[in-house]
């Protein structure tokens, strides 16, 4: 049996399922926002704030944020592993992107929950 050292415990089926699941979550969130804009005649700050004050919208937003980060993490990993051959440079770029995605998660969560 051949073990792939560079996969770090991941396989293609796992990534495929995560990409499809995250894409479905993002589409549903986009439809939620589009439905809000279609149903709401005039979007003001108060209406927008009231929409995002709803707990279900906050949960949907956090789920969409997590789905976006998973989607980006796998996508960046695939692109870097295909096009960046030097291992040190690829690792450094993956680290930079991972830290950036964690910062997005932190700031996104702080924005949604208003802590």
pLDDT digits (tens, 9 = 90+) for 57-99: 999 999 999 999 999 999 999 999 999 999 999 999 999 999 9
The pTM for the full model equals 0.83
Mean pLDDT estimate for the chain: 90
Determine whether the annotation assigns residue 83 to a binding site: yes
Contact 26, 67 (CB under 8 A): yes
Pick the CATH number of 11-113 from 2.70.70.10, 1.20.1300.10, 3.30.460.80, 1.10.10.10: 1.20.1300.10
Q: Where are the alpha helices (DSSP H) in 5-86?
A: 12-39, 45-53, 55-83
pLDDT for the residue 4: 54
Domain ranges of the chain: 11-113
Determine whether the annotation assigns residue 71 to a binding site: yes
Q: Please state the rounded mean pLDDT for residues 4-33.
A: 84
């Amino acid at each position: 049996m051949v073990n792939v050292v560079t996969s770090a415990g991941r396989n293609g089926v796992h990534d495929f399922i995560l990409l499809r699941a995250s894409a479905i979550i993002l589409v549903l969130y986009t439809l939620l926002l589009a439905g809000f804009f279609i149903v709401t005649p005039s979007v003001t700050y108060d209406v927008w704030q009231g929409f995002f004050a709803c707990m279900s919208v906050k949960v949907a937003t956090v789920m969409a944020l997590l789905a976006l980060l998973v989607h980006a993490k796998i996508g960046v990993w695939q692109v870097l592993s295909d096009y960046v051959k030097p291992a040190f440079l690829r690792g450094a770029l993956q680290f930079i992107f991972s830290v950036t995605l964690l910062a997005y998660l932190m700031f996104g969560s702080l924005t949604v929950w208003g802590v």
